Amino acid sequence: MTSAMHTPGHSAAAPPLLTATNVSKRYGKTAALTGIDITVGAGEILGLVGHNGAGKSTLMRVLAGREAPDQGSVTWRTPGPWNQRTAAAAGVRMVYQELALCPDLTVAENIALSDAAARGWRWRRAAERRVAQTLDDVFPGHGIDIVRRVVDLSMAQRQMLEIARALCTDDLSVLILDEPTESLSVDATRQLYAHLRSLTARGVSMVLISHRMQEVLANADRIAVMKDGRIVEVTGAAVTSEDALLATMGGDVHADTSTVRRVTSAPRPDVRAEGTLARLDDLGVELHVRPGEVVGLAGLAGHGQDAALRRLWANSRGATVAKRRAYVPGDRQTSGIFPLWSVAENLTVASARQLSTAGVVRSGRKSALAGEWVQRLNIKGGARSPITALSGGNQQKVLVARAFATDAALVLLDDPFRGVDVTTKNELYALMRVEASRGRSVIWYSTENSEMAHCDRVYVFRSGRIVSELRGDEITEDRIIADSFGTDDRIEEIAR
């Protein structure tokens, strides 16, 4: 997913607004940051890339004044104390990868919590007016009802609200964006970057973290590459490439289907001769999956793909589904991880039945299962670490491992690769293929249509209904997008 190419309007010589000098940060035995030196120039977009666990989010929290470095300093134009209060006063705001919204409050009430302009006895009206105007400016046609509670919004709408909340800031000077487009549609992503460029033209600076390299290359002026808590390279976006950045990060260069095929040695079963593990027959076209299949749900975000997964998970009316099934939800913070538990406890919680004898979970089996999957997916931090000590991508690995560590015949995945790097995606693509070769079935929704090339079949959704079923060479990003904007006559055609 890319936006129009960004013409850098500011060079590396732009006067620095924010400077980090020799910044280091540790969490217990883990060195999250080591000797970081970086500047954010006035009116520039600084891209920040690196694999999961490289220290990107930690560095952003330090730059935003949310965490103090163990050594080194952060200065704003001139030296002085740097903390959450001084950063806010300077107009520095951060959009978090793990959305920092209050789910039980309305859209407007969330804005009022952080917007100084929404104060006084008419605060609610001020907040509603402010957020409505901002959403309309940044995301025309967003469809968000500002009086609804956040818990009732889709992931894409929550992401738009998180961004809008940061932009509801008088005298905004630096905007830090941590994976801002992971849940956004193609159109919403284009709208966002168009608005960001209008802000940089007015002198606002930005730091952009994203695993979507083409977005960083298209929109950043400079790009800093992080590896193991250090900045290993800073380069101009116009003089580098995706392959060069990934090579500097120290990972695989391409996440393609050939990578998956190379690491999958087990033979695939003849899925046509098997039964059916899941079926939904009221979507215009019957959705079904057979043992050993990887089936994708695609199309524009918010058109019923995640709802179909939830129906299968709940075995709701109109669904026929395997008794043994596992589900990876789209929002890992509110529906996925147990923040007070360790990695091992999070990973094995769904496997209690298979780990127990006479109703008692055997600790030895539990430790062995957790250790096996931590090693298999290379989960940094180890089985005993608190789940909250892991990066977002490694937390996502734990959730995927939790599902596949069960004896479920059917695994349901709701955008499971949100916020993970290319190497991790390769590992998870391979995992799905290996498990499918053993007869398991996977139904997988992704907001990135290009990922659907890893599926056996793909159902394209529009307005809550299936508009096409694609197989083999038909599964391309262009075809998916074209079918997403097709006519209702297409449903009747493929149904026949």
* Alpha-helical runs (H) found in 102-183: 107-114, 123-138, 155-167
Same domain assignment for residues 33 and 80:
yes
Predicted confidence band of residue 12 (pLDDT cuts 50, 70, 90): very low
- Across 43-52, 64-73, 112-121, 241-250, least confident range: 112-121
The reply to whether 143 falls in a domain is: yes
How does pLDDT run across 291-331, given as a tens digit for each residue?
Answer: 999 999 998 877 889 899 999 999 988 898 988 999 988 77
Q: Are residues 157 and 81 in the same domain?
A: yes
What pLDDT was estimated at residue 391?
79
Domain assignment of residue 147, yes or no: yes
DSSP SS3 for 40: strand
Identify whether the C-beta of residue 28 lies closer than 8 Å to the C-beta of residue 18.
no
In-domain check, residue 124: yes
10 within some domain? no
Same domain, 36 and 158: yes
Q: Let me know if residue 9 belongs to a domain.
A: no
The pLDDT, as a whole number, for residue 64 is 92
Residue 496 confidence class, pLDDT cut points 50, 70, 90: very low
Give yes or no for residue 179 having a pLDDT over 70: yes
The model's pTM:
0.73
pLDDT in tens, 373-406: 998 888 887 888 888 888 777 888 898 899 999 9
Name the residue with tokens 């280091």.
24
Of 146-150, 349-353, 468-472, the poorest mean pLDDT is in: 349-353
Looking at the DSSP assignment, which residues form a beta bridge with residue 412?
327, 443
Q: Grade residue 72 by pLDDT with cuts at 50, 70 and 90.
A: very high
> pLDDT tens digit string along 414-469?
988 776 777 778 888 888 888 898 889 999 998 888 889 899 999 999 988 999 99
Q: Which pLDDT band, with edges at 50, 70 and 90, does 334 fall under?
A: low
Residue ending a domain, among 220, 249, 278, is 249
Q: 425: helix, coil or strand?
A: helix
User: Domain of 449?
Assistant: 257-495
Please state the rounded mean pLDDT for residues 333-356: 84
What is residue 17's three-state secondary structure?
strand
What are the CA-CA distances from residue 452 to residues 277, 367, 448, 472, 478 (Å)?
Answer: 20, 34, 8, 10, 11
491 or 413, which is more confident:
413
What's the pLDDT at 269? 37
Mean pLDDT over 93-97 rounds to 87
- C-alpha span between 325 and 279 (Å, rounded): 13
Which pLDDT score is estimated for 117?
59
In a domain, 323, yes or no: yes
Look at residues 249, 277, 298 and tell me which one is the last residue of a structural domain: 249
What local confidence, expressed as pLDDT, does residue 288 receive?
A: 93
Instruction: Report which secondary-structure segment, H or E, holds 46.
Output: strand 45-49
Of 249, 280, 314, the one marking the end of a domain is 249
Containing 186, the helix (H) or strand (E) segment is helix 186-201
Please count the structural domains in the chain: 2
Mean of pLDDT values over 23-47 = 91
Confidence check: pLDDT of 54 > 60: yes
Q: Can you list the pairs that 371-376 forms with residues at least 24 positions away whose Cβ atoms lie under 8 Å?
A: 371/344, 372/405, 373/347, 373/401, 373/404, 373/405, 374/343, 374/344, 374/347, 374/401, 376/401, 376/431
B/e letters for 33-69, b = 16+ CB within 10 Å, e = fewer, are: bbebebbbbbbbbbbbbbbbbbbbbbbbbbbbbbbbb
Pairwise CA distance, residues 61 & 223, whole Å: 18
Does residue 91 form part of some domain? yes
| Cα angle 433-438-441, degrees, rounded to a multiple of 5 | 65
* 213 and 334 part of one domain: no
The answer on 217 and 87 residing in a single domain is yes
Q: 476 and 423 share a domain?
A: yes
- Tens of pLDDT along 199-219? 999 999 999 998 888 899 999
Counted residue by residue, the chain has a size of 496
Distance from C-alpha of 236 to C-alpha of 233, rounded to nearest angstrom: 10
What percent of the chain has a predicted confidence (pLDDT) above 90?
A: 40
Interval 25-30 mean pLDDT? 84
How high is the mean pLDDT of the chain? 84
- Grouping H, G, I as helix, E, B as strand and the rest as coil, residue 308 is helix
pLDDT for residue 333: 62
Q: Where are the alpha helices (DSSP H) in 9-139?
A: 56-63, 84-89, 107-114, 123-138
* Whether 266 and 189 share a structural domain: no
3-state helix, strand, coil in the chain (%, to 5): 40, 25, 40
pLDDT tens by residue, 96-108? 876 778 888 998 8
Distance from C-alpha of 203 to C-alpha of 184, rounded to nearest angstrom: 25
CA-nearest of 166, 164, 163, 143 to 154 is: 143
CA distance readout (Å), 242 to 158, 193, 239, 255, 443: 29, 19, 11, 12, 30
Contacts of 468 (CB under 8 A, 6+ apart): 285, 459, 460, 483, 486, 490, 494
Does residue 230 sit in the same domain as residue 313?
Answer: no
144: domain CATH number is: 3.40.50.300
Residues 181 and 328 in one domain: no
The percentage of the chain sitting over the pLDDT mark of 70, rounded to a whole number, equals 87
Domain match, 300 and 318 both:
yes
pLDDT at 235 over 90: yes
Same domain, 284 and 136: no
Residue 147 and residue 269 in one domain: no
Q: Inform me whether the pLDDT recorded for 193 exceeds 70.
A: yes
* Helices vs strands, H then E, count in the chain: 18, 20
Helix axes 123-138, 155-167, angle to 10 degrees: 110
| 322 domain residue, yes or no | yes
